[in-house]
Amino acid sequence: MARKSSADFPLRLDNQICFAVYSTAHAFNRVYKPLLDKLGLTYPQYLVMLVLWERDGVAVKDIGERLFLDSGTLTPLLKRLEAADLIKRTRSTEDERQVLIALTAKGESLREKARAVPQSILAASACSVGELVTMKNEIVALRDRLNAVLGE
Amino acid sequence: MARKSSADFPLRLDNQICFAVYSTAHAFNRVYKPLLDKLGLTYPQYLVMLVLWERDGVAVKDIGERLFLDSGTLTPLLKRLEAADLIKRTRSTEDERQVLIALTAKGESLREKARAVPQSILAASACSVGELVTMKNEIVALRDRLNAVLGE
DNA sequence: ATAATTTATATTGCGCGCAATCTAATTGCG
DNA sequence: CGCAATTAGATTGCGCGCAATATAAATTAT
């Protein structure tokens, strides 16, 4: 007789990968919090800044596609970043539906202070870079399969 | 000369495991949504029900430890579950600080309808059970290391 | 036993995250 | 061209998630 595998208890909390992901996301958020507090950013705001540090002057839609967020989330978040003088929001003249997001000098310079963050996270993970990269790729592959189902 | 690895671009969004986890958690949530709508539950409410279906009559604190959530999140959530007649909240007589959470008949019977959920999620993952279990264990190990850092 | 400390839950406030709805601009189609 | 359909962003409302604070009960120390 075969040993009972976790597949035999599908409703068990500890068997659910979604809860593993959910609770790990919150754990990450708690580790990030004190680091980002120093930058005056929340984690989603930090993600937006990461996008902008890679490429400045993009539309709200582009940020949303990159982060899987919609305007209902981004509009107020971007207004807060603008109020903090980290970004500027301007209507595109070519396509007046679009709002383009550009870094201010303050937003640019925050990048230097942010460089310390990934190292701290890596240390907290207590894990080699190689292991993290492998795990990251697996998780991203899972995410993309989930999103593919949603797109049907 | 070695090829540049992702470790050389720590601020790149796509290199960050935390964003992989964050965005996968949201992807899971979006897959769950239509399934849980049928049960009249949100995802965090579903998690609470999973805990109660495993063991009924536990204190708020126990649910919180299991799900890594505090009373600021759980108290209003549990009140909504009570309003939906899925649980009952009663002060413990032994320790009047505690509030014990018990399933109602309706809450018990919802379990049968919930059995279909994990299968649908598994299908959406487009992944073998074995792969998911391996990935889940790795993610949980990462979460526990992160939480260990927080506990210091 | 009384006071100080700890513990369990509740409350308030803020920032997401997302569905639903709205407006205005652009595109596509006849 | 002119009108319908699409698209980008904003708004509203609700449910988390968590920090900070409050309250009351239990525990510990004295």
The predicted-structure confidence for A90-125, as pLDDT tens digits, reads as follows 999 999 999 999 999 999 999 999 999 999 999 999
More confident residue, B14 or A85: A85
Closest nucleotide (C1' vs CA) to B26 is C17
Q: Is the pLDDT of residue B1 over 60?
A: no
DSSP state string for B30-89: HHHHHHHHHHT--HHHHHHHHHHHHSSSEEHHHHHHHHT--HHHHHHHHHHHHHTTSEEE
- B6 occurs within a structural domain: no
- A8 occurs within a structural domain: no
Query: Which is nearest to B6 in space by CA: A133, A79, A81, A85?
Result: A133
- A10 occurs within a structural domain: no
- B1 occurs within a structural domain: no
Query: Which is nearest to B142 in space by CA: A85, A63, A139?
Result: A139
A92 CA, C27 C1': separation in Å? 17
- A34 occurs within a structural domain: yes
Tokens standing for residue B21? 């986890």
Q: Which residue of B has its CA nearest to A29?
A: B18
pLDDT in tens, A48-58: 999 999 999 99
More confident residue, B124 or B14: B124
| pLDDT score recorded for residue B11 | 75
What residues in B contact A13, CB-CB < 8 Å? Answer: 47, 50-51, 54, 66
Tell me the pLDDT band of A41, cut-offs 50, 70 and 90.
very high
Tell me the pLDDT band of B8, cut-offs 50, 70 and 90.
low
A77 CA, C24 C1': separation in Å? 22
| Number of structural domains chain B divides into | 1
Q: Is B50 on the interface with A (CB under 8 A)?
A: yes
Mean pLDDT along residues B50-69: 98
- B8 occurs within a structural domain: no
Tell me the pLDDT band of A14, cut-offs 50, 70 and 90.
confident
- B4 occurs within a structural domain: no
- A9 occurs within a structural domain: no
CATH label of the domain that carries residue B135: 1.10.10.10
Query: Which is nearest to A18 in space by CA: B48, B122, B51?
Result: B122
Which residue range forms the structural domain that includes residue B31?
Answer: 17-150
Mean pLDDT along residues A124-131: 91
